[in-house]
């Protein structure tokens, strides 16, 4: 997918720097060549030896390296590539770029490059939201810099969490692939649903579930990275929008169905959202109060079955329809029955019982059920599961006819 692409990776000095070793591995798996520049601070987390081992290239650290600079090496580094990726992009590196400073190899190469630059920020949430950082980001955006994240999550500091976490390596890879605009799903339109739905009981209460949306959002990001045009219909989540994806935000199951139907036609649809099966028959216009009358009585009606509706949409059905089955017992048997009942092509089943840690967690164990049978994938993080699914979808659809 990135065969022959030359990436200059500039590694800033943050704890997330350790993830760049995996990022390099992922890029090389896809055929890219990577050369790395480590700042002084980055070398506190990643050594030149370890980075050189995974890149298979000389690692650059010193602006005044006599061996590299005999032919103005910082200029050559800055321009002998197709793309510059800064990960982690620290507040310090952002400030240097926005101000045009060039007092080390990393900042000098960034000022000297005439190639596109993508930055993957990583810093404490307070630093990310600070006025100088926001000002620097606006300047850099105006200058044409592209952004990957940041994501929301736990920080290295004990008890700290929020927006500022560096995007995961596979998310960065997907953004790089999307930048080059080619992939096995180029010319295809994928429709993805994600997150929970919220079904109102009264103005302050809803029926919901524990879905975080991480798996659906990861699928949308992986699809965009594979070159697809992606429409993501998302229920309420606390996640940033995936890069390069059209996001339609909804609350209820009925809103989600309407948005899905409006997004058709699509070559493939992946229904990863955890849609509420029921809603109250009549939403109260005012908050239901406790009182002498005792507990309120709620009557329920079924929500529309989005997966079944699209699987049976004559004339508008996507060529490939993929559903998810969130089960707490008899996972494979219940999911196989669901595939037959809904009429979809594939079902990806997972155990969402509390012990499995799937809802709200970072990892997933998937059983892929199709007409060919059951295939159990090893436990993996949700971004990797998304990439595997997108690889399967790309092979199933094949390239677009010229």
Three state DSSP letters for the chain? CCCCCEEEEEECCCHHHHHHHHHHHHHHHCCCEEEEEECCCHHHCCCHHHHHHHHCCCCECCCCCHHHHCCCHHHHHHHCCCEEEEEEECHHHHHHHHHCCCCCHHHHHHHHCCCCEEEEECCCHHHHHCHHHHHHHHHHHHCCCEECCCEEEECCCCCCEEEEECCCHHHHHHHHHHHHCCCCCCCCEEEEEECECCEEEECCEEECCCCCCHHHHHHHHHHHHCCCEEEEEECCCCCCCCCCCEEEECCCHHHHHHHHHHHCCCCEEEECCECCCEEECCCCCCCCCCCCCCCCCCCEEECCCHHHHHHCCCCCCCCEEEEEEEECCCHHHHHHHHHHHHCCCEEEEEECCCCCCCCCCCEECCEEEECCEEEECCCEEHHHHHHHHHHHHHHHHCCCCC
Residue 176, pLDDT above cutoff 50: yes
Burial 143-164 (b: 16+ CB within 10 A, else e): eebbbbbbbebebeeeeeebbb
pLDDT attached to residue 134: 94
Confidence of residue 207 (pLDDT cuts 50, 70, 90): very high
Higher pLDDT, 159 or 27: 27
Residue 39, pLDDT above cutoff 90: yes
Q: What percent of the chain has pLDDT over 70?
A: 94
Q: State the average pLDDT over residues 294-310.
A: 94
CA distance 271 to 130: 37
Residue 204, pLDDT above cutoff 60: yes
Q: State the average pLDDT over residues 24-36.
A: 94
Confidence of residue 268 (pLDDT cuts 50, 70, 90): very high
287 annotated to bind ligand: yes
Residue 383, pLDDT above cutoff 90: no
Residue 305, pLDDT above cutoff 70: yes
Q: Measure CA 207 to chain center.
A: 26
Q: 6-179 falls under which CATH superfamily? A: Flavin prenyltransferase-like (3.40.50.1950)
Confidence of residue 119 (pLDDT cuts 50, 70, 90): very high
306 annotated to bind ligand: yes
Listed residue (274, 267, 353) closest to 306, CA to CA: 274
101 annotated to bind ligand: no
pLDDT digits (tens, 9 = 90+) for 311-344: 999 999 999 999 999 888 889 999 999 999 999 9
229 annotated to bind ligand: no
Residue 254, pLDDT above cutoff 80: yes
Q: State the average pLDDT over residues 249-255.
A: 98
300 annotated to bind ligand: no
Q: State the average pLDDT over residues 358-381.
A: 83
382 annotated to bind ligand: no
pLDDT attached to residue 67: 56
Residues 6+ apart with CB under 8 A from 393: 185, 190, 223, 268, 270, 320, 322
pLDDT digits (tens, 9 = 90+) for 45-65: 999 999 999 999 999 998 776
**398 Rama class: left (phi>0) / alpha (psi -120 to 50) / beta:** left
96 annotated to bind ligand: no
Spans of all domains in the chain = 6-179, 184-397
304 annotated to bind ligand: yes
By annotation, the residues acting in catalysis are 209
pLDDT attached to residue 354: 60
pLDDT attached to residue 72: 46
393 annotated to bind ligand: no
Residue 232 forms beta bridges with which residues? 192, 247
CA distance 53 to 243: 30
Q: Do domains 6-179 and 184-397 have the same CATH topology?
A: yes
CA distance 257 to 243: 23
Neighbours of 197 (CB within 10 A): 28
Q: 184-397 falls under which CATH superfamily? A: CoaB-like (3.40.50.10300)
Beta strands 161-165 and 268-271, pairing class: unpaired
8-17, 198-207, 240-249, 355-364: range with lowest mean pLDDT: 355-364
Mean pLDDT (the chain, rounded): 90
Confidence of residue 33 (pLDDT cuts 50, 70, 90): very high
């Amino acid at each position: 997918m990135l065969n022959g692409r030359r990436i200059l990776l500039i590694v800033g000095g943050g704890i997330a720097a350790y993830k760049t070793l995996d990022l390099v591995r992922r890029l090389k798996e896809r055929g890219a060549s990577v050369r790395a520049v480590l700042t002084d601070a980055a070398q506190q987390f990643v050594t030149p030896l370890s980075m050189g081992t995974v890149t298979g290239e000389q690692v650059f650290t010193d602006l005044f390296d006599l061996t590299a600079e005999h032919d103005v090496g910082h200029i050559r580094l800055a321009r002998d590539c197709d793309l510059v990726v800064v990960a982690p992009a620290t507040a310090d590196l952002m400030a240097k770029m926005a101000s045009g400073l060039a007092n080390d190899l990393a900042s000098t190469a960034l000022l000297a490059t005439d190639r596109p630059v993508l930055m993957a920020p990583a810093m404490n949430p307070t630093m990310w939201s600070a006025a100088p950082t926001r000002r620097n980001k606006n300047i850099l955006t105006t200058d044409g810099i592209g952004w990957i994240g940041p994501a929301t999550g736990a920080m290295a500091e004990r008890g700290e969490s929020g927006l500022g976490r560096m995007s995961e390596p596979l998310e960065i890879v997907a953004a790089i692939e999307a930048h080059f605009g080619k992939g096995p799903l180029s010319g295809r339109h994928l429709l993805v649903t994600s997150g929970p739905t919220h079904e109102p009981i009264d103005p302050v209460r809803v029926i919901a579930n524990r879905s975080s949306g991480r798996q659906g959002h990861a699928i949308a990001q992986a699809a965009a990275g594979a070159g697809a045009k992606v429409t993501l219909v998302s229920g309420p989540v606390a996640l940033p929008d995936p890069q390069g994806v059209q996001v339609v935000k909804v609350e209820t199951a009925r809103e989600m169905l309407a948005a899905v139907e409006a997004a058709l036609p699509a070559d493939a649809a992946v229904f990863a959202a955890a849609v509420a099966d029921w809603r109250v028959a009549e939403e109260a216009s005012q908050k239901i109060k406790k009182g002498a009358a005792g507990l309120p009585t709620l009557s329920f009606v079924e929500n529309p079955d989005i997966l079944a509706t699209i699987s049976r949409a004559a004339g508008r059905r996507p060529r490939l329809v993929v559903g998810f089955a969130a089960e707490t017992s008899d996972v494979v048997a219940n999911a196989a029955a669901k595939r037959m009942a809904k009429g979809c092509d594939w079902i990806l089943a997972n155990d969402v019982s509390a012990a499995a840690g799937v809802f709200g967690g970072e990892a997933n164990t998937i059983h892929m059920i199709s007409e060919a049978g059951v295939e159990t994938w090893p436990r993996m993080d949700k971004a990797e599961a998304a990439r595997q699914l997108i690889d399967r979808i790309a092979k199933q659809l094949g390239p677009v006819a010229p």
